Amino acid sequence: MTKGETHEWVGVTGQRYVYAVFDLPADFKPDEHGNYIFAKKGGADNWVPIYMGQGELKAQISDNHPQVKCMREKGATHVHVHLNSTEWARHSEEHDLLESHLNVFKPYGCNKEDLI
């Protein structure tokens, strides 16, 4: 994974997370774990999140993702990634961000309501 542009996402707790931004399609090494956000540009420096998740990046950021059709329909053009090898920390970050970005839930985004 190489770094370029970054974006800071803020959770409901006020915690700030810095994510690397990649054009889609993106490819990652096996066993790289972290949090990810599929997004599209919403303005000059504004990102619109479409789907948030966590796990092994190579497996999750692929055409095999169960929500890939929804994400394409909603216009995802980029994926934002925050490497994190600790599972409990990934889950905590995911929930923090989901609770502060409710527009990622259907029908506006692609997350299902049962994640928070």
Identify the band that residue 49 occupies on the pLDDT scale cut at 50, 70 and 90: very high
- The mean pLDDT of the chain is 92
Q: Kind of pairing, strands 6-10 and 33-41?
A: unpaired
**pLDDT of 64 over the 90 cut:** no
Burial class of residue 95, CB neighbours in 10 A (0-12, 13-18, 19+): middle
Identify the band that residue 1 occupies on the pLDDT scale cut at 50, 70 and 90: very low
Q: Which carries the bigger pLDDT value, residue 6 or residue 65?
A: 6
The CA–CA distances, whole Å, from 44 to 40, 49, 75, 116 equal 11, 15, 17, 30
Whole-prediction pTM: 0.92
Tell me, what's the pLDDT at 40? 96
In the chain, where are the structural domains located? 6-115
Helix (H) or strand (E) holding 57: helix 57-60
Q: May I ask the CATH architecture of the domain 6-115? A: 3-Layer(aba) Sandwich (3.40)
